[in-house]
A and B are shown apart, each in its own frame.
Chain A
Amino acid sequence: MTFLCFLVVGTLLVVLQTTLLMPTPVWAFSPDFYFIFVAYLASRFTPVLGLLLVYLLGLMLDVLVGTMLGMFSTLCFAGFACIRLFSSRMVRWDFLYSIPLISLTFFLLSALVYLVFDFLYVGQLVTWVWWEMLIRAALVAAFTYPLFRLLDKLYTYSKNMVYPWKRLRVRSDRPKRRQT
């Protein structure tokens, strides 16, 4: 159920990212919520579930709004792998280190993905603008803490949720069979 909850949230974030957060096609100041979501999945979910969600999110972004298939998938997948690797080596998850880490990962991976795609499809990408990308990385840093808190609440809620089918299950009064 947690998986489904986060799939719905991911879809809503993609919709939000492509509609209200992008008022014009040349808007540079939109916070990349999808990357913060990927970072959350990398830090809180198991590798299999996290990867599945990241895969679906990347595919959704590519299919719905991507101009070149594969760009968002690559960014999300690489972001997940990097943050998972770093967070597994941390003694404990602390926002003091994790916020700059997520922001820096976003910036470096964006640069790397840009380089690769610019090499593959020469002259088809908009010129790299340093200040624009720095602002986007700063926006990622600014929105990481509130979005993580929000997603944490959702995570706890979905874990502790009592589902109707569980509530209706009748418990047998018979004592459990002793294990031999």
Chain B
Amino acid sequence: MRQQLRKKRNSKTQYLRVLVVAVVLLILGVLFLVSTFGSRQFGPMHKIAMEFVGPVQKTVTATGSLLSSFKSDYIDSIQNFFKLNEEKKRLSKQLQETEALLNRSREAMATNASLRKLLDFKNAAEQRSIAATIVGKDPSPFFRSVIIDQGANSGIVKGSPVVCSEGVVGQIFTTSPNYSKVLLAIAPSSAIDVLLQKSRVRGILKGTGELTYRLEYILKNVDVEVGDYVVTAGYGGVFPTGLPVGIVSKVFRQPQGMFHEIEVHPAVDYQTIEHLLVIEKPNLNEIFEQPVQP
């Protein structure tokens, strides 16, 4: 009798166990589906997780770069010792060229300043920028994005433009308090309003997923040559005007169609990029609230 009772109890316990497992699995599945397909928004749970793992990522990246800098400072310098003389000659020549270029630039700046004065041109207020370091990258081969160690606490908002000393890098697409994700300009979903510096013709620069851009909507009657500089147009208020984006590397002239097919080589070296500048987006309310001077 007792054995029968125990058997009954055991079967009940087993049934309960299966039920609990099924409920847990169902909850997990729902959570999974909600987090996966519910929305593409970055919720508080995501932000907490990002804040939790971000510092570890930062430490690992810092250690890696420290090791690589140690290698470049000490080990590589021994290897390069014999190439120093050659390098010295090359650098002195480069220095002369740079000095000549600097003189020309000074002249251009002086001319520019006088012209601005002449036209009573208002100097655009200098935009504040935030220095950031790349701490992680998307391991998937289908996207091109990186994570930086500055977030909403530093004033970064979604859509802020990201640049480096060479030129445009991309745009912020998600932020948490201390970390942000940057969509690189080489990503296929990226599109930037640009100008051909020589002809001042406007076009749209799109990423290809590789280390090149594609310049679109440039009419065939426009004179485009390999080596032309491409800069940001500044329309739409995302990027400031005149930031270097790249150089035209190929122009495909085809008999069909209205537009040129243009390939642009990025000004930024995406293989060695480490430190970035995030330009703070101007607060439109502040601009409109400023009193108009007579």
Contacts and interface: CB of A to CB of B under 8 A. Distances in A.
A179 to B, nearest CB: 11
A127 B209 contact: yes
B7 interface: no
Interface in B37-83: 37, 39-40, 42, 45-46, 49-50, 53-54, 56-57, 60-61, 64
A160 interface: no
B150 interface: no
Contact of B56 (A15, A26, A27, A71): A15
Contacts of A55: 28, 31-32
Given A48-B21, A48-B24, A67-B138, A73 B32 contact: yes
A120 to B, nearest CB: 9
A125 B54 CA distance: 25
Interface string A54-68: 010011111111111
B32 A77 contact: yes
Interface stretch (B108-116, B184-192, B217-225, B278-286): B184-192
B271 A24 contact: yes
Contacts of A27: 137
A152 interface: no
- DSSP class of B's interface residues: helix, strand, loop or mixed? mixed
A2 B184 CA distance: 39
A118 to B, nearest CB: 8
Nearest to A67: B143
A19 interface: yes
Given A18-B136, A19-B57, A126 B31 contact: no
A124 B36 contact: no
Closest 8 pairs between A and B when the two form their complex, measured CB to CB: A126-B209, A70-B36, A67-B143, A124-B189, A22-B137, A18-B136, A63-B46, A125-B142
30 contacts: A15-B57, A17-B139, A19-B57, A20-B64, A22-B136, A26-B210, A34-B139, A47-B21, A51-B25, A62-B46, A63-B49, A63-B50, A64-B54, A64-B57, A64-B136, A65-B181, A66-B140, A66-B143, A67-B181, A67-B187, A68-B143, A69-B35, A73-B32, A73-B36, A74-B36, A77-B32, A124-B187, A126-B143, A126-B144, A132-B141
